[in-house]
Structure 1
Amino acid sequence: MALQTREYDLEFVLKSLFAGGFAGMCSKTFVAPLDRIKILLQAHNKHYKRYGVYTGLRGIIMKESFIALYKGNGAQMVRIFPYAAVQFTSFEFYKGYLSTVITGGSHIDKFLAGSAAGVTAVTLTYPLDTIRARLAFQVTGEHYYNGILHTAVSMFKEEGGIRALYRGFLPTFLGMVPYAGFSFYCFEKMKLFCMKYAPHVACSPCQRNTGGLVLSVPAKLICGGLAGAVAQSVSYPMDVTRRRMQLAMMNPETRKFGMGMIKTLVLIYRKNGIFKGLYRGMSINYIRAIPMVAVSFSTYELIKQALHLDTGMKT
């Protein structure tokens, strides 16, 4: 059986990078306030550890300011454009390659392609995620850092060089495999399900291009939201571990959480248990992740259609 091959021209790659990066910026800006309170809750910030989601958001506005809801979002934008651009574009490459290698209709190629894309993107941009977390964790009046560059230089000089910027990478890597894999897999599967079994409801208009039927915006949002919920449920404990390790060196009392992934996991479990420790902030993560993934996938799909990216792949 002859293997399918896909060729990607430069125009397709550049358009895909733009579509992915722009989609990432839209989705992260949309949920930036929820991102910040999630970080504060995950790492038990002393000013907010007794708060919930709603009271925490209100507390940030009252104690700091409305703009404080977006603290760290500048670093997030610097990180998320290349991260999302690489993730979405590399997913197209991995999916195209794996579909020629894995046959039988199991769709495992989409899971593997999503996992590989997530790992590729997070490896290249992880230091910016650490910097963003540090900036978001700061409370007005207790600033350790004065911006992206100052944070990077301070961590590099005072906490062990490049290793400091990659602290917490192992749990991130282990969490990214199921998270990105299930995100892309579930979105692709639900998209195909809608196209196959409910085209008159989910597709508007029901036009065809080389990518198949085109889902309506509401259908894209629903598929993306469900994909995000499934992915977050599986990978969340690794996300909590990553945050504790990233922020461990900011306070003498929490330095013990920066001694390695296994030790951090055990400490979190012993100190706070499963629901108040490993799944701390999970409720806000659902509130945050579902619209974030929905907006991300939907925006990417819309830009793909607008830029005719589906016709940029030669099969």
Structure 2
Amino acid sequence: MDKQGPRAAARGDFYWLRKFVAGGIAGCCAKTTIAPLDRVKILLQAHNHHYKHLGVFSTLYAVPKKEGYLGFYKGNGAMMIRIFPYGAIQFTAFDKYKKLIKEELGIFGHVHNLLAGSMAGITAVLCTYPLDMVRARLAFQIKGEHKYTGIIHEFKTIYTKEGGFLGFYRGLMPTLVGMAPYAGFSFFTFNTLMSIGLDQAPNLFGKPSLDNPDVLVLKTHVNLLCGGLAGAIAQTISYPLDVTRRRMQLGAALPDADKCLTMVQTLKYVYQRHGIQRGLYRGLSLNYIRCVPSQAVAFTTYELLKQLFYLN
């Protein structure tokens, strides 16, 4: 048999399934890495009354004192249920959209990464949004003040008390509006940095892929750096819409829920009541701390799994 035979066969068998699994695992690894920071971000964004007087680092100190260290992982079970399909769909859809944009629209260069990333992020959100809402509300609960006893109970409560299936899509519009620039600039920045690095200094930044020595891939530490920069830039652009999304998702869990019924209404209310720094950008410093390792781990894990699963 040709020495390329096993590799070629591996590439051909269940290619899209392997790509789907690689994306899902990458997403789970990324979110587990920053789960404690994610919980604190939700508490600060929505001004939880137990922590609203605290900053990022004081909240990180207060949560284990009040709820124990497992309090950092409240809602993480729902997050894993959501993030596996989210990561899988996003990474798989990105490659599909990128190919489609090139072949059907004839758009090349780095712009197609921006468009494909935006479309992939929107696709992933539409498919997994109800799970994101459930996770957010579980993470917002404080020990001893549980409105929901678990994932199933929360699904039933939202369905029966908040308008049926439409109740699961509260806050969808700011999520989609925010996801387009976030996912778009995230994939755009990472792929642009990767292509520049491999083109300009292949020996310094690149190495042969494990599954295909003819293909150059970024070295692990360079991958981590590019992923972190991509996340930081994307978060800065889209953060106010992330705050809006969270407040709309939490809905009845907030005392001022009646003032946060639409995207525009919520943006206006948060700005007028809390301003820019302590309202629209509240918790951003934490987001920089969390998005850098999150995106770094996501892109690096995905690129590594592409090699292990013979996807290059």
Considering the TM-score relative to the shorter chain, is it more than 0.5? yes
Please name the residue that 2:57 is paired with: 54
Quote the offset at 1:123 in angstroms: 0.2
Q: CA deviation at 1:248?
A: 2.5
Pair 1:110 & 2:85 matched: no
- Contact 1:118–1:176 (CA<8 Å) still a contact in 2? yes
Q: Distance in 2 between matches of 1:115 and 1:279?
A: 22
54-63 vs 70-79, which moves further:
54-63
DSSP 3-state at the match of 1:309: coil
Q: Percent identity?
A: 50
Rounded Cα–Cα distance in structure 2 between residues aligned with 1:104 and 1:135: 42
How big is each residue's C-alpha offset from its partner over 1:149-171, in whole Å with a ceiling of 9 and x where there is no partner?
11111011111111211000000
Which residue identity does 1:174 align to in structure 2?
V
Q: How big is each residue's C-alpha offset from its partner over 1:220-259, in whole Å with a ceiling of 9 and x where there is no partner?
A: 00010000011101110100000010112113x2212431
CA distance in 2, matches of 1:125, 1:206: 32
Q: Cα deviations across residues 259-303 of structure 1 (Å, max 9, x unaligned)?
A: 111111100000001111111100000000111011001000000
CA–CA separation in structure 2 for the residues paired with 1:153 and 1:12 = 37
Unaligned 5+ runs, structure 1: 1-7, 311-315
CA contact (8 A) 2:94 2:117 kept: yes
Question: Contact between 2:209 and 2:215, CA under 8 Å: does it hold in 1?
Answer: no
2:209–2:307 contact (8 Å) kept in structure 1: no
Q: Structure 2 counterpart of 1:226, which letter?
A: L
| Cα distance in structure 2, aligned partners of 1:103 and 1:211 | 26
Which residue matches 1:215? 218
Which of these residues, 11, 16, 21, is aligned with residue 18 of structure 1? 21
- Find the aligned partners of 2:263 and 2:56 in 1 and give their Cα distance: 27
Q: 1:131 corresponds to which residue?
A: 134
SS in structure 2 opposite 1:139? coil
Amino acid aligned to 1:296: A
Q: Taking structure 1 as reference, are residues 130 and 104 closer, same or farther at Cα in structure 2, changes over 3 Å only?
A: closer
Q: Which of 220, 225, 229 pairs up with 2:228?
A: 225
Q: Which residue is equivalent to 1:273?
A: 275
Q: 1:68 aligns with which of 55, 71, 74?
A: 71
Distance of 2:259 and 2:218 partners within structure 1:
45
Shift of 1:211: 8.3
TM-score scaled by length of structure 2: 0.93
Question: Does residue 161 of the first structure (1) align with residue 164 of the second (2)?
Answer: yes
Matched, 1:287 2:289: yes
Aligned residues: 302
- 2:14 is paired with a residue whose SS is helix
> 1: CA distance between counterparts of 2:239 and 2:29?
22
Distance verdict in 2 for CA 1:105–1:121, change over 3 Å: closer
Partner Cα distance (2:114, 2:189) in 1: 8
More deviation, 210-219/268-277:
210-219
Q: Distance in 1 between matches of 2:127 and 2:217?
A: 32
Instruction: Give every structure 1 segment of 4 or more consecutive aligned residues whose post-TM-superposition deviation is greater than 3 Å.
Output: 101-106, 204-212
Could you tell me which of 184, 188, 191 is aligned with 1:188?
191
Residues 241 and 211 of structure 1, relative CA distance in 2, 3 Å threshold: farther
1:40-88 superposed Cα distances (whole Å, 9 cap, x missing partner): 0000000011112221111010001001100000000000000100110
Match of residue 5 from structure 1 = none
Residues 207 and 214 in structure 1, CA contact (< 8 A), matched pair in contact too: no
CA contact (8 A) 1:208 1:214 kept: no
Deviation of 1:206 after TM superposition, in Å, equals 7.8
Residues 150-196 of structure 1 deviation map (CA, whole Å, 9 limit, x = unaligned): 11110111111112110000000000100000011111000001101
**Contact residue 246 and residue 258 of structure 1 kept, 8 A:** no
